[in-house]
Structure 1
Amino acid sequence: MRIRATVAAVTGALALSAFAVPAAQADGPAITREDTAKVLDAAHAASGKTGARAAAADAPYALDASISNVKVNGGKAIVAGTTKHVTVPTTFTLTHAADVDIKAADFLVDVEIYKGSYTEPDNYLFGDLWPTCKVVTTTTASCTGSIDVYPGEGELRNSDAGAWSANAYAIAFNGEDPEAVDFDVTKVGVVEQAKVGSTKVQRYSKLTVNASPEPVKKGKTITVTGALTRANWETNKYAGYTVQSVKLQFKKKGTSTYVDVKTVKSGTKGALKTTVKAAADGYFRYNFAGTTTTPAVKAAGDFVDVN
C-alpha cells in the first residue's frame, strides 16, 4: 500500500517519491523511486536548493535534456471519490543531446504533481509505473505516463483539493547501481524542472433531486428537494457541501433544453429545498456549476405530471 507523503517526515519535493512502489526495469539494476530521490537530494544539496535533507560531498552532473509540452489528464481536473483508484494520463516531450541514451534500462523520466511549495509540498502524487517514450528524432521523444490516486488509502486530505503544479525530471544512471557500496553519484546525470504544468485535484460531487407531489394539479405548489454532497477524503464518505449556489432548472415535456427557474443555497448536510407553481408536464433538476475544489454536477431530471 502506498503511504501518504507527509512533509513532517520527509522534506524536499522529489524526496517525497521515496514512498512509491519499486520501479520495474526490464534490465539493469532494480531502481526504486527512493533511489531517484537520493540522487535528486544530492543534486539539491550541491546547488544549495532548499529541500535537501543532507549536504552532499558529491553531486550528479547536469544532464543535457529538458522536458516540455507537459499535459496532465489532457488539461482536465483530476476528480477523486472516496475509495476508487483513479489513473490519469500525462504526456510530454523529452528533448536531449544525441549522446543521451534514453532507451537505456536505467534511464528514467517522469512527470509528477505536487500541492503547495515545490521544495516543501503539502502533498505529492505520482504514477505506479514509469512513463514510456517513443523516439521521434535523434534528439526528441514523445512520452506518455500516468498519475495514480488512491483516496481510500489516505493519500489525500480535504485541504489538498484545488490547484496543483507539475514537476519533471530525468535521470541517467549510466550503469551505476544506487544500492551498491561503490555507487558513484558523479557519474549519474540529472535534469529537474519545477512548475512545468498545472492541474486541479477535486473532490467528486453528487447531486440529487425530488419533485413532489406527483401528479399535481396545475397551479398547485411543487416542492423540489435534493442534496449536494462531495467526497470527504478523511472519512472516505460523502458529506454535504453547504452554502453553495445551485440552480433549479426545468425542461418542459417535448422540448430538449433545460431553463433556469431560480437559484437555491445548499443548507445543512448540503440539503436543497424550494417551491414552484405547477405549470406544465416536465422535468426538474438541480445544476451545480462547480468550484475550484469540487467539479460541476447535474442531477438526473425528475418528471412531474401536471393535470
Structure 2
Amino acid sequence: MRIRASVAVVSGALALSALAVPAAQADGGDGDTKITKVVVDGDNKVSIGTSSAVTVKVSVTATDDSGIKGAQSFDLFGPDNGIESTGKPSCTAVNATTSTCTASVKIDPKVDYLTNKNAGTWYVSAWIDAKDDNYVWKEKAGSFWFQRAAKLTANAAPEPVKKGKTLTVTGALTRANWESLKYGGYGSQSVKLQYRKKSSSTYTTLKTVKADSKGNLRTTTTATADGYYRFSFAGNSTTAAVSATGDFVDVK
C-alpha cells in the first residue's frame, strides 16, 4: 500500500499536467473524449482477507468520435491515504468510437501494509487518450467499496429436535483485521436468521438479530420441518457480505 499525497498521485504525462493544474480543477481533457462507465471487479466491491493476495480488475469504458487510442495506468485511492496503481491498461474496441480499457493490480494484505481505516469508499482515477490526440482525465471517474473480508458461523441445537420445539441458533460474525492479520469479532451488527427446507434451494428470512459487542449471535426459533439454518450478513462499505454455511436439523 502506497501513501496518497494531498495532491493526486500520478505518473507519465499525467504527472506533468497535474503539476500545473490546481487541485480544485484536477479533472481535465479536451475535445469530445468522455469516460462513460467504470467497473471494479464486476460489482464495484473488493474484499480483502488476511492471508491471500487478491487481483483487482478495473474496466473503464470511454468514447471519442475518432476512437480510443489507449489509457494510462489507473490509480485507486481511498481513506487513510490508501492508493494502489494498476498495470498498463489494454483497450478493446466496442465499436468505431468506443473502447473498454482494462487493467489489474494485485493487493496482498501481508505485504501492502493495509490499515483498517483503509476500508470504505475508494475511487478510480483514469486518463484516456483518443486517436485524434484528445484526452480526458477524471480523478474520480468511478467508485467502489474496498472491504474487509468477513466470516460467519451458525449452529442450531438440539439435533435432532421434535417438531414444534424450540431451536437455539448460535454463531459469530468476524472480519479481517488488516493490521494484526487475524479475524476479530464484528460487534453490534444486524444479521438475518434464515431457513430453507430440505427439499428447497431457497432461504427465507425468519428474523433479524443483532450481534453482541464481540460479534457473537444467539437466538431461538420453532422447529417445523427438516431443513437448514444459517445467519446472513448484508455487508456495508467497510465489510463484505457473508452467509454462514447452513446447519442441517433433523425434525422428528
Q: TM-score range by the shorter chain?
A: 0.7 to 0.9
Structure 2: how far apart are the matches of 1:298 and 1:101?
A: 42
Structure 1 residue 141: deviation in Å? 4.1
Match of 2:35 among 68, 84, 106: 68
Matched residues in 2 for 1:47 and 1:165: separation? 20
Whether 1:257 aligns to 2:227 is no
- Which amino acid letter does the alignment assign opposite residue 78 of structure 1? V
In structure 2, which of residues 107, 122, 126 is the aligned counterpart of residue 149 of structure 1?
107
Distance 1:220 1:67, change over 3 A: same
Q: 1:47 and 2:21 equivalent?
A: yes
Q: Tell me if 1:12 matches 2:7.
A: yes
Please list the CA deviations of residues 52-108 of structure 1 after superposition, one character each: whole Å capped at 9, or x if unmatched: 9xxxxxxxxx7878451332223431111112111122222455696x994xxxx86
Structure possessing the higher radius of gyration over alpha carbons: 1
Matching of residue 214 in structure 1 with residue 172 in structure 2: no
2:170 corresponds to which residue? 225
RMSD: 3.2
Q: Distance in 1 between matches of 2:245 and 2:16?
A: 54
Post-superposition offset of 1:244: 0.8
Q: SS of the residue aligned with 2:18?
A: helix
Q: Give the structure with the higher percent helix.
A: 1
Aligned partner of 1:205 in structure 2 is 150
| Counterpart Cα distance in 2 of 1:139 and 1:123 | 34
Aligned letter for 1:210? N
1-structure distance, mates of 2:245, 2:82: 35
Q: Which has the higher strand share?
A: 2
- Cα-to-partner distance string for 1:133-167 (whole Å, 9 max, x where unaligned): 24567775432212332222234221122211211
Shift in Å at residue 42 of structure 1?
Answer: 3.4
Give 1:91's match in structure 2, choosing from 52, 56, 59.
59
1: distance between equivalents of 2:232 and 2:187? Answer: 15
Gaps of 5+ in 1: 16-32, 53-61, 173-188
Q: 1:271–1:45: structure 2 CA closer, same or farther, 3 Å change rule? A: same
Aligned counterpart, 1:55: none
1:271 aligns with: 216
Match in the other structure for 1:247: 192
Alpha-carbon distance between aligned partners in 2 of 1:281 and 1:159, rounded to the nearest angstrom: 43
* Residue from 56, 70, 82 that aligns with 1:123: 82
Tell me whether 1:82 sits opposite 2:50 in the alignment. yes
Stretches of structure 2 lacking an aligned partner (at least 5 in a row): none
Q: Which amino acid aligns with 1:125?
A: E
Q: Deviations over 1:201-231 (max 9, x none)?
A: 1111111111112112334432211111111
The share of aligned pairs that are identical, in percent, is: 43
AA of the residue aligned to 1:82: T
